[in-house]
Chains A and B, each alone.
Chain A
Amino acid sequence: MKKVFTAALVILFGVVLLFGLSKSIDIAGYGDGLIPGKAADAYINKNVTSGTGEIIFGETKNAETGSANMVTSVIANYRSFDTLGEVTVLFLAAVGVSLIMGKNSKEGKMKKSGFILRTSAGIIFPVMLITGIYIFTHGHLTPGGGFPGGSMIASSFLLLYLADENFKLKITGFKVAEGLAGTLYVMVGAVGLIIGGYFLINFLPTGVVGDLFSAGIIPVIYVLIGLKVGSEITGIVRDMHKEEVSV
């Protein structure tokens, strides 16, 4: 009975999704929506506090945020204080996991992993690590940012855990990175409070939209978030893996 109900629910949801995608319901297609006059317009053209006009990639100078990725400009500039809270929530979750699972339980051994996993992990691990770092350093230009980038770093370490049964992570560096990144995030906000009068105000020059060194404090904050999230989730992965192999 329960399975029939869930199956019916899945199909109902799927039908709604199908009709939504096939545009038989009145949803504006990509690029057809009317944005002028709506709140999103101010964020897209970066004129929330003062009029900047239309943004041209690679040409516009000293825009309000200078971030080419509009999602990033909301997450790390306009709503940066919310992101600080989000990072705090993740920190509390990591602390909870390590409180419950980080006990000194008896060390067990994992089963030896398969040949394909063992050989390919050595090739894929550096690529994943570099991709994660790329995602959070280019968060203001390309899709992604601190949270996915940090998670990708954590999953690259998870791959090492799964591939090598003798792999042990020295956690000290991660602890230092985590605490330092969190402190620096608040410090950057406090410097903005001193210079600009608002907590987490974008006090650096924003440069040309689309350059790597642009967007003021957004890349700085996103690198900090990436390091913090990466080390936190790596800690969670380590704790859960330790619990899993313990006897």
Chain B
Amino acid sequence: MMELFNILEVGISVLLIFFALAAVLSKKLLTGIVFLSVLSMAAVAAFALLSAPDVAVTEAVIGSGLVTFIFVASIRGLRKAGDGS
């Protein structure tokens, strides 16, 4: 049982690094934001595995929901002002 948990934890950490790299290295800002949202979902799984359910719930709602909306809204605002690309 412990073995399975360890494999899960390592797998999720690799996923975390992968999505973080994808968010940093993506060419378009919008793609980066989507990857950040996915990264938050992976972080939720990590928090739940590390027995921090309170943090997991908050991260699921704020990290992958509201923050994504705020980023997308600000990108669209930038585009409207003519500075975004």
Contact digits for B32-74, partner A, Cβ 8 Å, 1 yes 0 no: 0000000000000000001101101110111001100110010
A151 proximity list for chain B (CB < 8 A): 58, 61-62, 65-66
Secondary structure dominating the interface of A: helix
Chain A 96-153 residues near chain B, CB threshold 8 A? 135, 143-145, 147-148, 151-152
Out of B6, B14, B17, which one reaches A10, CB within 8 Å?
B17
Contact B76 A148 (CB under 8 A): no
Out of B13, B20, B58, B65, which one reaches A155, CB within 8 Å?
B65
Cβ of B84 within 8 Å of any chain A Cβ, yes or no, is no
Count of chain A residues near B, Cβ 8 A: 32
A155 proximity list for chain B (CB < 8 A): 61, 65-66, 69
Cβ of A244 within 8 Å of any chain B Cβ, yes or no, is yes
CA of A157 to CA of B19, assembled, Å: 28
Contact A18 B13 (CB under 8 A): yes
The interface of chain A, by Cβ under 8 A from chain B, is: 3, 6-7, 10-11, 13-14, 17-18, 21-23, 30, 69, 71, 135, 143-145, 147-148, 151-152, 154-155, 158, 233, 237, 240-241, 243-244
Given contacts A3-B24, A18-B14, 17 further A-B contacts (CB under 8 A): A7-B21, A13-B20, A17-B13, A17-B16, A21-B9, A23-B6, A69-B54, A143-B53, A143-B56, A144-B54, A144-B57, A147-B58, A148-B61, A151-B62, A155-B69, A158-B65, A158-B66
